[in-house]
Amino acid sequence: MSQNFNRGGKTEMKRCITALLVLLMLALLAACGSKNYQVTTKTGETFHTQGAPEYDLKSETYKFTDEKGEEVILNRIDVDVIQEQNK
């Protein structure tokens, strides 16, 4: 009877380890998924974003959080280039 108990314990340990590995992989994938961008205006001003800029069709503006954590809103007509940045 003790052998069956040990096998059950090993199976439970394997499940725990598998679950932890899956969570670790998901965390790593989430970190890889966040992209930063460089936004350059027509006047030459450059912003580095935290995540992708959001475009509001109604107001024709781009909204994003810069590297300092401040919210920035730019008119579409003022934006020259938006480039994805490699980490």
- Reduce the DSSP state of residue 2 to 3 states and report it: helix
| pLDDT at residue 83 tops 80 | yes
For residues 60-76, give the mean pLDDT: 96
CA distance readout (Å), 26 to 21, 33, 51, 58 = 9, 10, 18, 35
Centroid of chain to Cα 82: 17
Q: Tell which residue, 80, 84, 13, 12, has the closest CA to residue 48.
A: 84
What's the CATH number for 34-85?
2.30.30.100
pTM, two decimals, is 0.61
Going from N- to C-terminal start, the domains of the chain cover: 1-33, 34-85
Residue 80 has a pLDDT of 97
Residue 52 has a pLDDT of 93
Half-sphere exposure of 82 (CA within 13 A, CB side): 19
For residues 58-69, give the mean pLDDT: 95
State pLDDT tens for residues 5-40: 555 677 888 887 887 777 766 665 555 556 899 999
